[in-house]
Structure 1
Amino acid sequence: MGRRRPRTGDDWKLLAEACTALLERLPELVDEHLRELHEYEPAYARIVPYDTHWQEAHEAMRIGIEMISAPRDSPRRDLEHADEMGRRRAEQGMPLELVVHAYRHAGHLVWDALIEDASAFPPRMAALTQAATMVWSAVDAQADTASEAYRATELELRRRTDEQLQALLDALLQGQRSPEVTSRAAAGLDLPEHGRYAVVVLRYDRREVPEPFHRRVQGAGARFLWRMRADCEIGVVSLTEGTGLDALSELLEGRCPGPGGISPVVTGLSELGRARRLAELALRTCPPESQQIVRLDRRMAGALVVGQPELAGLLVADVLGGLLELDPADRAILLETLDVWLDCEGSAGRAAGRLYCHRNTVFNRLRRLEQLTSRSLSRPRDLTEMTLALDAFRLTTPPG
């Protein structure tokens, strides 16, 4: 209620008489209040059962009328009640504008009734006129209090809902496949239960990249839902028909610093756990210094290696054993030559251009590799072993 002017003697007595008389008419005022509210917006009746709404309106109007003539230092029961009602209406899902309208309408109804009852009593009318500012300040304060409580409750409800939806998304990413979880997630996240999805895992250092990646990623044909982790972000990507991994890779490149891994496309929310594991596997095929965002379907050989670390160690020892005994700088030159030669599809000339040396130097280094590994680069099986061994060495050997 607004600031009251000091009230003494007859003024206070006249206001108290007016309020007491109005309380006797309260049931009919409540009836009129609800009838006009329902005519204004039928949603009132759909949201709150009539009997419940009647009792709540009766209580609110009774407290409001009693506070008009209450002593200045009285507890603000009207605001306490408005706070409670604002929270309750938010939980019920009533739009805020309807909550405010109800308070304003009740205020007008009470004031009009007070004026009507006092019209035959000039002294009482004079007391009411002097109290007008106070009465309308009270109505404003009640509406404001209800609005503040409503907004606070709405934020809390939204936070709880977001937490519940994020928990459902986490459950799917952890591999839960129950029909209940997938159906609830589909409804809550507004996603198709059976659709085209990919998972992206991006690794980063928070000290170097304080801004989350997902703020930078938007694109037609792909909807992203992100989950933050201590050292990475996991993105669930809903792909429309016609949008594939090529478009997804292009969208991520340049917007998100790597390294990162992209899973193959899966069909359905129940497959997100498997997609996450495959995206993490793709990420593991990126060397520590890499800034690439790679697709698993283009890193199968590396994925086989990092997926079996024990076998990868045995492969390195068996194929590259002779190389491991060399001086690190010498070993690095030979392995770089093999890597570039493979990247140049076996062209010594192109590899020489990349390495800034003569093509004969490339041939000499490759022959030395063959001698140290006891393999021939011209035999497909040997070449496959050396390629896998090179991947295993690069991906499983600590830097330095």
Structure 2
Amino acid sequence: MTGPKNGRRPRTGHDWKLLKEACTALLPRLPELVEEHLRQLTEHSSVYGRVLPYDQQWREAEEAMRIGIETISAPRASPRRDLEYAEEAGRRRAQQGLPLDLLVHSYRNAGYLVWDSLLEGAAGKDPEKLRVLMRSATMVWSAVDAQAAVASDAYRATELELRRRTDEQLQALLDALLEGRSAPGLAARAAAGLDLPERGPYAVVVLRVDRRDGREAFHRQIQRAGFRFIWRMRTDCEVGVVALGTAVGEPGGEPGGLDDLAGLLDGRCPGPGGISPVVGGLAELGHARRLAELALRTCPPGATGIVRLDQRMPTALVVSQPELAERLVTGVLGEVLALEPADRAVLLETLDAWLACEGSAGRAAGRLYCHRNTVFNRLRRLEQLTARSLARPRDLVEVALAVEAHRLTRGARPA
């Protein structure tokens, strides 16, 4: 014969019979218990009443309490309908937005009401039934705990799935804006979901993803710097939507602009990258993204900096028209590019230094470690080869743009 478990006498068939009688006698009082249960829940928190209409709350509470009462009197081998219902209830409450702690509280509250009513029904009337109930207290509260645990697990799983779906929907809205799609209410829905103003100053940053080292640390740094960033990883680049707001720690300060943004990214960002001009709202993000990509295309091979389109307009004009850029290179630099590589590199290096030194032959000579007359001689040779005078503004613009086009479209740089 098997002894008692944990020092308690095992429940006999007679015990189960008395439990069933007590539970069956309680069922006619179920409407009264449901009314009291809902009254106590509302008294505990007004959120219950805001989540569901009273009639629906009443029906679901009645079904849950009835299943719970029937479960108390059923042998453990019986199917656990209470747990199945608790799982469904947990999913429903997550979808309805009831806080998890209030869901657990409702199970505890219902358990107290049912238990007190069972004891009240047996007290002073049937001492033997009361003794059976008292010996069943652990079983009853274990059932309530199991129901609350199953409901909580289902709630958390559903909440996680809902959050994943919401994130996917928000990412789809952001992608639609960055792709420049126009749909009624698109910007408004994105503003509400992303918690961003629909109108206001925005910029877009596009980073090349050649190097990912330090990217997470970079994101943490700039998120604390007073701008609101939302990042989207794409196959060949990383796109950041920037809400230009007031800098952190500067109450009443002016909204940050492109100067502040560029200063923040400079030295912190694993570039290269491009920054768009400021646009006036979420609906213009598609246009801003295209301009930021154009700014990125003005970065020569090997560059690591972040550039602003509004400061690279001539170069942007070159890279935006690759066929014309190729014609410009051929038409202006054709004779230069036909030279021996070493000779060609010296001339292009000299021109590049002279342009960088704002037309000062002396400063260019210092940079190149040669005499200023050497710089003049090389520039005169360039003028002969290109048939253009660097003293004439129009010719100078053509030569400068041709050199920039050669560097960007052919991946070449002066030696």
Q: TM-score, normalised by structure 2?
A: 0.92
Per the alignment, in what secondary structure is the counterpart of residue 86 of structure 2?
A: helix
| Alpha-carbon distance between aligned partners in 1 of 2:295 and 2:129, rounded to the nearest angstrom | 83
Residues 1-400 of structure 1 correspond to what in structure 2 (within 5 A)?
Answer: 6-120=10-124, 121-205=126-210, 211=216, 214-240=219-245, 241-399=254-412
| Alpha-carbon distance between aligned partners in 2 of 1:242 and 1:394, rounded to the nearest angstrom | 37
The answer for unaligned runs of 5 or more in structure 2 is 1-5, 246-253
- Contact 1:199/1:279, CA 8 A, preserved across alignment: yes
| Alpha-carbon distance between aligned partners in 1 of 2:290 and 2:197, rounded to the nearest angstrom | 21
Q: 1:32 to 1:5 in 2, by over 3 A?
A: farther
Question: Can you list the C-alpha shifts for 1:204-240, whole angstroms capped at 9, x where unaligned?
Answer: 2266567485344224442111111012110111112
Aligned sequence identity (%): 72
- Contact 1:174/1:273, CA 8 A, preserved across alignment: yes
Residue identity in the other structure for 1:315 = L
- Contact 1:284/1:306, CA 8 A, preserved across alignment: yes
Q: CA deviation at 1:35?
A: 1.1
- Contact 1:178/1:270, CA 8 A, preserved across alignment: no
| Alpha-carbon distance between aligned partners in 1 of 2:29 and 2:113, rounded to the nearest angstrom | 12
| Alpha-carbon distance between aligned partners in 1 of 2:91 and 2:374, rounded to the nearest angstrom | 79
| Alpha-carbon distance between aligned partners in 1 of 2:139 and 2:355, rounded to the nearest angstrom | 86
| Alpha-carbon distance between aligned partners in 1 of 2:310 and 2:215, rounded to the nearest angstrom | 30
| Alpha-carbon distance between aligned partners in 2 of 1:66 and 1:206, rounded to the nearest angstrom | 63
Q: 1:5 to 1:54 in 2, by over 3 A?
A: farther
Residue identity in the other structure for 1:269 = L
Residue identity in the other structure for 1:181 = L
| Alpha-carbon distance between aligned partners in 2 of 1:356 and 1:364, rounded to the nearest angstrom | 15
| Alpha-carbon distance between aligned partners in 1 of 2:373 and 2:168, rounded to the nearest angstrom | 63
Per the alignment, in what secondary structure is the counterpart of residue 25 of structure 1?
A: helix
Give RMSD over aligned pairs: 1.9
Residue identity in the other structure for 1:371 = Q
Q: CA deviation at 1:96?
A: 1.2
Per the alignment, in what secondary structure is the counterpart of residue 78 of structure 2?
A: coil
Residue identity in the other structure for 1:268 = G
Q: TM-score, normalised by structure 1?
A: 0.95
| Alpha-carbon distance between aligned partners in 2 of 1:274 and 1:197, rounded to the nearest angstrom | 11
Q: CA deviation at 1:179?
A: 3.9
